[in-house]
C-alpha cells in the first residue's frame, strides 16, 4: 500500500528543506508579513522522535555563524515498518544562507533500504540550479526566481524576535526540488502556553505552520528554541538531552505505518477486486475534500458512490491528447521521465505492434504488473530508477506506468487515494490513462479499469500528493452497498 507518508520523508524532506505547493486555501482577513531580519543565535538541538507516544528515532539540528551568513545542519534517523518490513530511514540536510537568510547552497540526502535520494544546488536570488533524484538517476533543474528563497528553519527564531501577539502571520518563500517551485510558507502565532515536558514546565509560544493545506504546530521557548513539534499521524519531536534523544528506540518491534494510517471502515467488501459498484458513507473532517469526479466517482452529501467504468468500445490512435490536460499529459515531468531512452525502449517493447491506445494500454498495465516485484519500499520514486530496479510498491508501479504510457503516446496521470484490501481501506496510488476518455488503471492489481473500491482523493504527482497529509486521520468509511462484476 501507499507509503509516501513516511515521517522521514515528511519531516526531513518537507519540513527541514522546503514546503510543497499548497492547495487553494480560503483567503485570510489580513495578509501575512515577511519576518524580521535579525541575528540568529548558534544552536545545537537534539530531539526524540515519537509516534503515538512510542519512540522511533531522533533528530539533530545545528545552526552556526559563518562569514557572510549562516550554516545549517539537520539530521534525522527513524525506524518504522511497512507491511511488516522494517525500514530505517536516515536523512541529512546541509545548507548555507547569507546574512539575510537567503539560500545560497544546499545538499540533502535520504538513505533508505531501497535507495539513496539526493538533492544539491545553489541559488543567487535570480536562479536556482539543482541536481536531484535517486542515486545514479539524477536530473538537472534550472529554476528562475522572482525573489530570494529561504529555509523554513530560519523562520521560527526570526518570528520570535518580532515579539508577536496572537493572530500575527508571517510568510517566506521556500523551494522544493520535488515540485520545482518556490511557494510561501505561512506561520501563524496562536497563543502563549505553559507546556509540560519531561524536563518540567516551560513557558512557550505556540505557532502553526501551514503548507500543502497541512498544518503543523511548534512550541518555542523565549530564546527561540524548539520545545516540541507536532505533525500529522501522531508524530512528535520532543527536545531532549543528546544522550536521551539517542536512546530508547525498539528497532526489533517497529511501528507499522501502513497499519496505523489506514482509514477506519464499518462493514466489509466480500470481493474487492471484482467490485463493479460500491457505495460508502463518509465521515470525518476531510470528507468534503473527496472530489466529485463523474462518471466514475459521485459524491452526494455524505454518500460516495464509485462505479467501475466500462472499457471504451472505439479504437483510439496513439498520440491523441485529452481536451482538458492537452499535451501536458504526454510530457515528461519530475520523476516521470517519459523522454528517457530506456523508458522509450521499454515502452516500445511492451506495446509492440499496437496502434490502438486501448490495446497498448492493456499491454503496458500487464507488463508493469508482471515485471515489477511487489515489495514495500521507502523511496522518492523515479520511473527511470524503477525500470532499473524492477521492484517497489504502488507508487513505483504508478510512476513507471505513467512514464511508459506517455512514451508510447498515451496521456497519463497519477492518482492518489485509498483502496480496499485486507479488510480495510489503505492509502494507495494508481493511474488514469486517456483512451478517448480517462480510464482508471492499477498495475499492482493488473486492472484496466480498476475496481470500484478505488477512492480517488488527489490527482497529480508528488507536488499534489503531499496534500494527503492533511487527510490522513480525518476520514472514516461505512460500507452501504457492494455490487460484484
Angle between helices 341-351 and 394-408 (to 10 degrees): 80
Q: Which three cell numbers stand for residue 2?
A: 501507499
Angle value at C-alpha 343, between 340 and 347, nearest 5 degrees: 140
Angle between helices 357-371 and 394-408 (to 10 degrees): 150
Q: How does 285-313 read in b/e, with b if 16+ C-beta sit within 10 Å? A: ebbebbeeeeebbebeeeebbbbbbeebe
Average pLDDT, the chain: 83
Can you tell me the distance from the alpha carbon of 337 to that of 320, in angstroms, rounded to the nearest whole number? 19
Task: With a cut of 60, say whether residue 273 has pLDDT above it.
Answer: yes
pLDDT (0 to 100) of residue 175: 60
pLDDT (0 to 100) of residue 83: 64
In this structure, of 35-44, 174-183, 289-298, the range with the lowest mean pLDDT score is 174-183
Asked, as a colleague might, if the bond just before 449 is cis with ω within 30 of 0, I would say yes
pLDDT tens readout for residues 242-261: 999 999 888 788 777 666 67
pLDDT tens readout for residues 80-135: 776 667 778 888 889 999 998 888 998 888 887 777 878 888 999 888 888 877 77
Q: Single out the residue of 60, 88, 56, 57 nearest to residue 74, CA to CA.
A: 60
Task: With a cut of 80, say whether residue 177 has pLDDT above it.
Answer: no
The backbone torsions φ and ψ at residue 189, rounded to the nearest 5 degrees and listed phi first, read -85, 120
Q: Which position has the higher pLDDT, 202 or 5?
A: 202
Task: With a cut of 90, say whether residue 398 has pLDDT above it.
Answer: yes
Angle between helices 357-371 and 341-351 (to 10 degrees): 110
Please say whether the beta carbons of 61 and 231 come within 8 A: no
On the CB side of 354, CA atoms within 13 Å amount to 23
pLDDT (0 to 100) of residue 463: 56
Q: pLDDT confidence of 7, banded at 50, 70, 90?
A: very low
pLDDT (0 to 100) of residue 82: 67
Asked, as a colleague might, if the bond just before 295 is cis with ω within 30 of 0, I would say yes
Task: With a cut of 90, say whether residue 447 has pLDDT above it.
Answer: yes
Can you tell me the distance from the alpha carbon of 205 to that of 209, in angstroms, rounded to the nearest whole number? 13
Share of the chain above pLDDT 90, in %: 41
pLDDT (0 to 100) of residue 361: 96
Which sequence spans correspond to the domains of the chain?
7-257, 264-484
Q: Which long-range contacts (CB under 8 A, 24 or more apart) does 62-68 make?
A: 63/153, 65/40, 66/96, 68/98, 68/99
What mean pLDDT is predicted for residues 152-158? 76
The backbone torsions φ and ψ at residue 236, rounded to the nearest 5 degrees and listed phi first, read -140, 155
Q: C-alpha distances in angstroms, 249 versus 78, 253, 255?
A: 9, 9, 11
pLDDT (0 to 100) of residue 162: 82
pLDDT tens readout for residues 20-65: 222 222 334 446 777 777 888 888 999 999 988 889 999 999 999 9
Can you tell me the distance from the alpha carbon of 48 to that of 239, in angstroms, rounded to the nearest whole number? 7
3-class secondary structure for 382-437?
A: CHHHHHHHCEECHHHHHHHHHHHHHHHCCCEEEEEEEEEECCEEEEEEEEEEECCC
CB atoms within 10 A of CB 168: 17
What mean pLDDT is predicted for residues 188-197? 91
pLDDT tens readout for residues 299-316: 999 999 999 999 999 999
Strands 85-98 and 69-82: antiparallel
What mean pLDDT is predicted for residues 379-384? 77
Please say whether the beta carbons of 136 and 342 come within 8 A: no
Please say whether the beta carbons of 281 and 267 come within 8 A: no
Please say whether the beta carbons of 375 and 386 come within 8 A: no
pLDDT tens readout for residues 344-360: 999 999 999 999 999 99
Angle value at C-alpha 344, between 343 and 350, nearest 5 degrees: 90
CB atoms within 10 A of CB 483: 14
The backbone torsions φ and ψ at residue 39, rounded to the nearest 5 degrees and listed phi first, read -65, 145
pLDDT (0 to 100) of residue 402: 95
Task: With a cut of 50, say whether residue 10 has pLDDT above it.
Answer: no
Please say whether the beta carbons of 333 and 397 come within 8 A: no
pLDDT (0 to 100) of residue 263: 87
Task: With a cut of 80, say whether residue 331 has pLDDT above it.
Answer: yes
The CATH classification of domain 264-484, taken from the options 3.30.70.580, 3.10.620.30, 3.40.50.1370, 3.40.190.10 = 3.10.620.30
Whole-model pTM? 0.72
Q: What residues have CB less than 8 Å from 306, skipping those under 6 apart?
A: 277, 278, 279, 280, 296, 297, 298, 452, 453, 454, 455
What mean pLDDT is predicted for residues 391-408? 92
Amino acid at each position: 500500500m501507499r507509503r509516501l507518508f513516511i515521517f522521514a520523508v515528511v519531516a526531513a524532506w518537507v519540513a527541514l528543506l522546503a514546503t510543497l505547493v499548497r492547495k487553494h486555501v480560503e483567503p485570510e482577513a489580513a495578509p501575512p508579513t515577511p519576518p524580521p531580519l535579525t541575528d540568529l543565535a548558534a544552536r545545537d538541538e537534539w530531539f526524540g522522535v515519537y509516534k503515538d507516544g512510542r519512540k522511533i528515532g531522533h533528530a539533530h539540528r545545528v545552526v552556526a555563524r559563518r562569514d557572510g551568513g549562516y550554516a545549517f545542519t539537520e539530521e534525522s534517523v527513524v525506524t518504522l515498518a511497512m507491511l511488516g518490513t522494517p525500514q530505517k530511514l536516515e536523512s541529512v540536510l546541509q545548507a548555507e544562507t547569507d546574512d539575510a537568510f537567503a539560500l545560497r547552497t544546499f545538499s540533502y540526502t535520504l538513505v533508505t533500504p531501497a535507495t539513496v535520494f539526493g538533492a544539491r544546488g545553489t541559488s543567487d536570488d535570480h536562479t536556482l540550479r539543482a541536481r536531484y533524484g535517486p542515486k545514479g538517476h539524477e536530473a538537472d533543474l534550472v529554476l528562475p526566481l522572482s525573489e530570494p528563497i529561504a529555509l523554513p528553519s530560519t523562520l521560527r527564531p526570526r518570528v520570535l524576535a518580532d515579539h508577536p501577539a496572537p493572530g500575527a502571520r508571517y510568510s517566506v518563500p521556500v523551494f522544493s526540488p520535488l515540485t520545482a517551485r518556490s511557494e510561501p510558507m505561512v506561520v501563524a502565532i496562536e497563543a502563549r502556553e505553559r507546556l509540560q515536558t519531561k524536563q518540567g514546565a516551560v513557558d512557550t509560544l505556540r505557532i502553526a505552520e501551514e503548507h500543502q493545506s497541512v498544518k503543523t504546530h511548534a512550541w518555542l521557548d523565549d530564546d527561540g528554541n524548539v520545545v516540541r513539534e507536532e505533525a500529522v499521524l501522531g508524530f512528535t519531536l520532543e527536545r531532549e538531552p543528546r544522550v536521551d534523544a539517542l536512546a530508547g528506540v525498539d528497532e526489533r518491534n517497529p511501528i507499522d505505518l501502513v497499519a496505523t494510517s489506514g482509514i477506519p471502515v464499518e462493514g466489509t467488501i466480500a470481493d474487492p477486486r471484482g467490485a463493479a459498484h460500491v457505495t460508502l458513507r463518509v465521515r470525518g473532517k476531510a470528507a468534503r475534500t473527496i472530489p466529485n469526479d463523474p462518471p466514475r466517482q459521485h459524491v452526494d452529501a455524505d454518500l460516495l458512490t464509485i462505479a467501475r467504468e466500462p472499457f471504451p468500445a472505439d479504437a483510439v490512435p496513439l498520440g491523441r491528447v485529452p481536451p482538458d490536460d492537452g499535451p501536458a499529459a504526454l510530457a515528461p515531468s519530475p520523476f516521470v521521465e517519459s523522454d528517457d531512452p530506456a523508458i522509450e525502449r521499454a515502452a516500445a517493447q511492451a506495446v509492440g505492434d499496437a496502434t490502438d491506445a486501448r490495446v497498448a494500454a492493456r499491454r503496458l498495465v500487464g507488463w508493469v504488473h508482471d515485471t515489477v516485484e511487489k515489495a514495500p519500499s521507502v523511496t522518492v520514486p523515479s520511473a527511470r530508477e524503477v525500470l532499473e530496479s524492477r521492484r517497489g510498491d504502488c507508487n513505483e508501479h504508478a510512476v513507471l506506468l505513467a512514464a511508459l504510457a506517455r512514451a508510447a503516446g498515451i496521456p497519463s496521470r497519477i492518482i492518489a487515494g485509498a483502496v480496499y484490501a485486507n479488510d480495510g481501506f489503505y492509502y494507495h496510488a494508481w493511474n488514469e490513462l486517456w483512451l478517448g476518455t480517462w480510464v482508471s488503471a492499477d498495475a499492482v492489481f493488473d486492472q484496466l479499469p480498476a475496481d470500484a473500491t478505488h477512492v480517488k482523493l488527489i490527482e497529480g504527482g508528488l507536488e499534489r500528493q503531499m496534500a494527503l497529509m492533511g487527510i490522513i486521520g480525518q476520514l472514516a468509511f461505512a460500507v452501504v452497498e457492494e455490487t460484484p462484476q
